[in-house]
Amino acid sequence: MLILHSPLDMHVHLRQGDMLALVAPHTARDFVAAVVMPNLTPPVTELTQVLDYREKILRVAGESFSPLMTLFFKSYSRDELLAARPHIIGLKLYPAGMTTNSEAGLADMRQAHATLAIMEELDIPLLIHGEGCGFVMDREAVFLPVVAEWARSFPRLRIVLEHVTTRAGVELLDRFDNLFATVTLHHLLITLDDVLGGLMRPHLFCKPVAKRPEDRDALRQAALHHPRAFFGSDTAPHPITAKEAPGCAAGIFSAPVALPALAGLFEELDALDLLQAFVSDRARAAYGLTPMAREVRLERRAWTVPERFGSVVPYLAGQTLAWQVVN
Amino acid sequence: MLILHSPLDMHVHLRQGDMLALVAPHTARDFVAAVVMPNLTPPVTELTQVLDYREKILRVAGESFSPLMTLFFKSYSRDELLAARPHIIGLKLYPAGMTTNSEAGLADMRQAHATLAIMEELDIPLLIHGEGCGFVMDREAVFLPVVAEWARSFPRLRIVLEHVTTRAGVELLDRFDNLFATVTLHHLLITLDDVLGGLMRPHLFCKPVAKRPEDRDALRQAALHHPRAFFGSDTAPHPITAKEAPGCAAGIFSAPVALPALAGLFEELDALDLLQAFVSDRARAAYGLTPMAREVRLERRAWTVPERFGSVVPYLAGQTLAWQVVN
């Protein structure tokens, strides 16, 4: 038996409508709170949208789960951010065009400065999809200088490099005390080899794309030991028709398997005792959170992941995991 | 009007059965001869299979096309190779497991030496799928030392590095006069960015996978100017059900668009005058071929590539090309 105290998923895509109803209960079952990304259509840029979206999530996720809401980064006034602050955990910045529904994102990083200064003053964290333009395997690396400049220019602004995928990204954490990172489950498990080294696997396609073995090694070290690296699944469901298609959408639906698969990995790495820190304690410290107290229990008992949840193929579909959630 | 004299496709997969009947006429229409890969199920390792396969190809491809047959590389006796020599253009070596139907390939490269010595003596070329084990983006690079060792150890053995994808592969050509390379259409046009930099594109998935922009630049330079680089499409059809699937098969069906797309690219590179060398002359010199005399004519007239040929989605499906074949 493994007991996790108030596990947190610091990066989820809960979508809208029927998909929200399908996927949110999986996150709500295994986590007491989750950071909800704002890349809807249209993006969540108004406080009224935040409150409305939060309401809709609570309706399907139940009372034992707290959605931690975000605003889509754009230029905001001090008054706007002051009004939003009690209702959000941070602002999520997407460089334009880098992932699903990010077309409204930022095209010129210099335009961010005024809003970043207000966020620093109001102590509102910045969550970044850290990819710039360029060749797909280099996009995180080419964006890191922007992250470094902001971390240096705004030393009291907490910056979270979301779904870090590279050794260079992990190494940047050591240069700035105000820099944090989320690490996904799938980037701890796969490399580009799994995506297209054999047959090509649309259900392993995500953004940022999985990188090299040495990058995965660095992510694993960070997940185990880095005080400012914590779990964010980036669970990102798409219907099977959008995945097994001539243009396959980016995203891996990992919510139903996140804790069991993490337990399996940490056990394999002989580090089960570090899982609590990775899935809860470090995020609490980073954000100054006091999540509701709830225990999530896992048993070391074989569990075969279903091939589908509704229209969505989950990560690790059909595979048998050593652990399962038994609440 | 662009007239190509006896164009040659020095690397094709014509498959078997219904697929053979569907795809071979496309190659036969635009090329006077093509090097036919032997990775069938089971692989073509016997002279009787070569003759039988050749017969089947001729039945669907017509009289104005010559299939240039290959044997699947394994250990062969001198007598076997002597008997096969009049009927084949070379032996194709697949490291085990690197692409479609290559499970019977070579696992230990040192086992090749005795057969390579016989091939050198009998002047039978070696065609190589040049990928070793390791991370998918490194597989060609890690295999090049093997190619270099063989080129050095067997200086009179002609070696063709098939579907070269990297700058390092191109550079190796300059070190050995007995080393040649085929270059595909798609590796001249796409990089990994096209495969999964936006949405993921199963119809652009092939082995070796498309590499980096600087690799593509090197391939383009070789296609234009290197006297030992020539065209081999690696046209490799799969039914749509094997492409838009949870495990997408590797291969791009480029036969119907190869010459029009090459004409468009060479025109864009202001090098239309070099296309004849790339699609015929250099391969003739490399192999000492005297192909049948036939002109293939292209006109600069817009042509929209069909979305399907039977069960197969062609490369550039739905796109409008500037050139078309008008025989």
By C-alpha distance, the chain B residue nearest A212 is B135
Contacts B195 to A, Cβ<8 Å: 196
Confirm or reject contact between A34 and chain B (CB < 8 A): no
Q: Any residues with CB less than 8 A from the CB of A219 and at least 6 apart, and which?
A: A164, A165, A170, A183, A187, A188
pLDDT digits (tens, 9 = 90+) for B216-273: 999 999 999 999 999 999 999 999 999 999 999 999 999 999 999 999 999 999 999 9
* DSSP for residue A197: T
pLDDT digits (tens, 9 = 90+) for A31-66: 999 999 999 999 999 999 999 999 999 999 998 999
Among A195, A246, A313, whose Cβ lies nearest the Cβ of B203? Answer: A246
pLDDT digits (tens, 9 = 90+) for B260-277: 999 999 999 999 999 999
Confirm or reject contact between B247 and chain A (CB < 8 A): yes
Contacts A244 to B, Cβ<8 Å: 244-246
What pLDDT is recorded for position A98?
A: 67
- CATH code of the domain made up of A2-325: 3.20.20.140
Catalytic residues of A: 234
ipTM confidence score: 0.94
Q: Which CATH number fits domain B9-251: 3.20.20.140, 3.40.50.300, 3.90.1170.50, 3.40.50.150?
A: 3.20.20.140
Across the range A180-197, mean pLDDT stands at 98
What pLDDT is recorded for position B166?
A: 98
C-beta atoms of B199 and A244 within 8 A = no
Domain boundaries, chain A: 2-325
How many Cβ contacts (< 8 angstroms) between chains A and B? 73
C-beta atoms of B136 and A250 within 8 A = no
* DSSP for residue B298: E
By C-alpha distance, the chain A residue nearest B200 is A248
Q: How far out from the chain centre does Cα A249 lie?
A: 17
Q: Would you list which residues of A are annotated within the binding site for substrate?
A: 13-15, 39, 129, 238, 250
Q: Say if residue A106's pLDDT is above 90.
A: no
* CA atoms in the 13 A half-sphere facing the CB of A197: 18
What pLDDT is recorded for position A160?
A: 98
Q: Would you list which residues of B are annotated within the binding site for Zn(2+)?
A: 11, 13, 92, 129, 163, 234
Q: Any residues with CB less than 8 A from the CB of A144 and at least 6 apart, and which?
A: A130, A168, A169, A172
What pLDDT is recorded for position B98?
A: 67
pLDDT digits (tens, 9 = 90+) for A66-88: 999 999 999 999 999 999 999 99
**Token pair for A215:** 């990058």
What pLDDT is recorded for position B107?
A: 76
Across the range B202-212, mean pLDDT stands at 98
Where does the pLDDT of residue A113 fall: very low under 50, low under 70, confident under 90, or very high at 90 and above? Answer: very high
